[in-house]
Each structure stands twice: as C-alpha cells, then as structure tokens.
Amino acid sequence: MAAGIVNIRRDVDDKFYRYRMPLLLTKIEGKGNGIKTVIPNMADVARALSRPPTYPTKFFGCELGAQTSVDEKNDRYIVNGAHDATKLRELLDGFIDKFVLCKSCKNPETDLLITKNETIIRDCKACGKRTDIDMRHKLTTFILKNPPKNAKKSKSKKNGADSPTTNNGTHAEAAGPVMDDDAEGESDDELMKRIKSEAAELNTDSALAKEDWSIDTSPEAVRARTKAAESAMANLAVGDDDSDEDADSPYGQLGHWIQDNRDAGPVEVYKKADELGIAKKYKTVQFVAQNIFTEQIVSEIPTNAALFKKMVTSEKHQKSLLGGLERLVGNIHPELIPSVPKILMGFYQADILEEEVIKQWGTHVSKKYVDKETSKKVRKASEPFLKWLDEAEDSDEESDDE
C-alpha cells in the first residue's frame, strides 16, 4: 500500500479494497495555552469521504471537548490543544462509522439526506438502503445548521415538500486524493456535458468498438482472476524493489514490525530485515528510515548510525534513505521540516550520505516519494545545509591554492 494512503475502513485488511483516503496528518503549533493541532490534509480526507471538511473537524471537537476553528479559504482546520495523530485517526474511524458507512452493508458510498422532520439519514448507493443517523450526537445539530451547498438541494425542493433533501455531494468511486485536474471545480452538469462530448467524439465503428469487452463472471473465472492477481502481487512484493508497498510485502511487514518493536534496537532491526530476505535491498533503507525514527530524529541518528552504515552500500541506497527521510518529514512528521538541515548534517557527519548525492537530491524536485509540493518544501528547507556544503568546498579550494 502506498505510503500516506489507507483504506477508508481501516479494519479492512484488503489490498484490493476500492475505497481509499489519505492518512490523516497533524501538526502541533503554538505553546502553553495557545497550543493547537492543525490538520493540514483535512480537505483531502473529507473529499475522499464525500463530506465537508467542517464535519470531521467539528466531530473531533465534540469528542475531545475542545474548540475548533475553520478557515476554508486557506484550508486551515484546527482543534485546540495538543492531540497526536494516532488519537485523531481513531476518532476519524468513529466519524466514518457514525456518519459515512452504511449501517446495513458498511459501504462508504453514501449521501446524507435531511428529512422534513429534520432527521438525518444515510442513503447508500451500493445496497440502496437508508439508515438512520443517531440524532443524539452533538454533530447532528451542526449538520442541520450547516448543510453543504450543492445543486442537489435546490433540485430536491422542486420535487415536493415530502421529498428528503440531499445534503452532500456525489460520492466518488474509489474515493481518494487523486483527481482529474481538468474536472476540478466543474459542476455536475458541466462535468457530464464534457464527458458526453468526449464520448461523442469516439468512432463507434473503430477497431476498439468491435473488440469483445464482456467479462466472464462465472465463479471459476472470478477465482482464476483473483488467483492471478494475488500471484502477481506476491511476485512484485518479493522480487522487485519497485513493488507496491502493501502491508503483506516484506517491506510492509518490516515497517510494521519496527513500529511495534520500538525498543528492539538496531541489531534486531537488521536481523528482522535479513529474516525477510531484504537486508541488502536498497528499498529496505527507505522503510527503515521512515519507521525507525520519531520526531526526535536528530538525537536518534547517532544511535542508529551503525545500522545505516551497514545497510547503505551504494548511491542507490543513499537515494532510498533520502526518500525515506522525505516521507518522514514531509508526510509523517511535517513539524520536522525546519529540522531538515540538522538531519542531513547528522547523516553526513556519520559518513552515511555523501556530499554529491545530497546536492543532487537537494536540487531536483521529485514525485517519487511524496507529492510535488511536499518535495519542494523539504528541499527548500535543506537550502541552508546545501549552502554550507558549497561554502565548505570553497574554503577547501582556497586552502589548496594557498
């Protein structure tokens, strides 16, 4: 499974589960009485759930007894107080269960409907059933007072007073943060017109149209396709360093093991990687880096230096290490971005990262490990260290000339 993306139902351990969302991120800001928790990707998470971002934010406030503040124009969603990501992810599971999942089939493809009696129900597009929301929860009052704005609301009013009012947008299939940039910002009608227009341009007499696109849905065929897919995923996970990072792959297993055995120490981490047969693979370094360190990474580098010296044996390994660090500070602990120069200095002084590799990484934005904007932020933060490297090199050249 790709880093930063999880199943909407986190209790479902199915790599082919179609409904996905970004992993909720948090950032602590301020001190003392002014301390607060910012949720930088709340808009993306809410989009995947097809709910307004104000709903889960307010839900957190209700559950934690904390004040919340929202600045939708600047995508700022804040819960007062210091709350770690794990706690808020657990609360998000509760929001999903109470306000997103169909009570009957547990599918997240639902719309919220408000009846004329001001009760809220979930209308499931998967099984067709409508199930009640528990109106005793404080969030229901907020939803009734703050229904999301969309075209469906006005249409339902035209249908008559007895019809329930739809109060959320259409749920996207295989919900997730990846969108068609051209479609973003279009209304449902505009989008449908564009799709029909593009479809009309296709030549129905073409060779593609004549292909047999039917699918054999017999039990035997379904089993055969499932077996083939599982076999392909297994081969990728074991034999290819570019395999998907799902929980069942050796890399995913190692990452979870490190998180569950924080006190094991570097030697045991290497033994586990060796046991999984990936101790010498370059991609392993990335997974170790993004899982073994915490927000105290600067002080943890010396403790783990020997482990990385043993595992980092080529330029490819170094680049993988930088990729793991990029995910660590960019996605998992974004509050560490200002510490990037200190982190790079730690690995440089330990002779794990070489100057040329760091310089090349620092001047080339990449989408391989994180999104482009995050990649830019991390590299921007590295500039003081890159400047220090250049100045140190100039100083050495002057000494040689003398």
186 located within any domain: no
Residue 77 is inside which H or E element, if any? strand 76-80
88 located within any domain: yes
Q: Which long-range contacts (CB under 8 A, 24 or more apart) does 344-348 make?
A: 344/382, 344/385, 345/385, 345/388, 346/297, 346/298, 346/301, 346/302, 347/301, 347/308, 347/321, 348/385
3-state class (DSSP) for residue 199:
helix
Edge-to-edge strands, sheet with 110-114: 130-132, 120-124, 110-114, 165-166
CA dist 267 to 183, 200, 280, 305, 308, Å?
50, 62, 14, 11, 11
| pLDDT tens track for 333-388 | 999 999 999 999 999 999 999 999 999 999 888 889 999 999 999 999 999 999 88
- Give yes or no for a contact between 241 and 281, defined as CB atoms under 8 angstroms apart: yes
User: Is residue 269 packed enough to be buried (19+ CB in 10 Å), middle (13-18) or exposed (0-12)?
Assistant: buried
3-state class (DSSP) for residue 122:
strand
Is residue 258 domain-shared with residue 149, that is, in the same domain? no
Number of domains in the chain: 2
| pLDDT tens track for 153-207 | 333 444 443 444 444 443 433 333 333 333 334 444 554 554 445 444 434 333 3
Is residue 161 domain-shared with residue 262, that is, in the same domain? no
CA–CA separation, 321 and 108 (whole Å): 36
199 located within any domain: no
Share above pLDDT 90 across residues of the chain, in percent, rounded to a whole number = 56
CATH number of the domain within which 33 lies: 3.30.30.170
CA–CA separation, 48 and 370 (whole Å): 18
Supply angle C-alpha 76, 79, 80, rounded to 5.
120
Q: Residue 15, CB half-sphere, CA atoms under 13 Å: how many?
A: 16
Start-to-end Cα distance in the chain: 55
CATH number of the domain within which 285 lies: 1.25.40.180
CA–CA separation, 299 and 355 (whole Å): 21
pLDDT on residue 263? 85
- Give yes or no for a contact between 343 and 329, defined as CB atoms under 8 angstroms apart: yes
Is residue 23 domain-shared with residue 161, that is, in the same domain? yes
Q: Work out whether strand 36-38 and strand 27-29 pair parallel, antiparallel, or are unpaired.
A: antiparallel
196 located within any domain: no
Is residue 122 domain-shared with residue 243, that is, in the same domain? no
| pLDDT tens track for 36-93 | 999 999 999 999 999 999 999 999 999 999 999 999 888 899 999 999 999 999 999 9
CA–CA separation, 125 and 335 (whole Å): 39
pLDDT on residue 137? 94
**Where is the domain boundary, 118, 135, 166?**
166
45: nearest Cα among 1, 11, 5, 78? 5
49 located within any domain: yes
225 located within any domain: no
**Where is the domain boundary, 111, 142, 166?**
166
Count other C-beta atoms under 10 Å from residue 213's C-beta.
7
80 located within any domain: yes
3-state class (DSSP) for residue 106:
coil
CA–CA separation, 290 and 298 (whole Å): 14
60 located within any domain: yes
Distance of CA 276 to the CA centre of its chain: 26
Is residue 133 domain-shared with residue 249, that is, in the same domain? no
What one-letter code names the amino acid at 335?
Answer: E
Q: Where are the beta strands (DSSP E) in 193-266?
A: none
Is residue 111 domain-shared with residue 242, that is, in the same domain? no
- Domain containing 264: what range? 237-401
pLDDT above 50: residue 30 = yes
pLDDT above 90: residue 391 = no
CA–CA separation, 77 and 27 (whole Å): 11
**Where is the domain boundary, 135, 166, 197?**
166
Is residue 301 domain-shared with residue 157, that is, in the same domain? no
Of 133 and 174, more confident: 133
Q: Where are the beta strands (DSSP E) in 317-391?
A: none
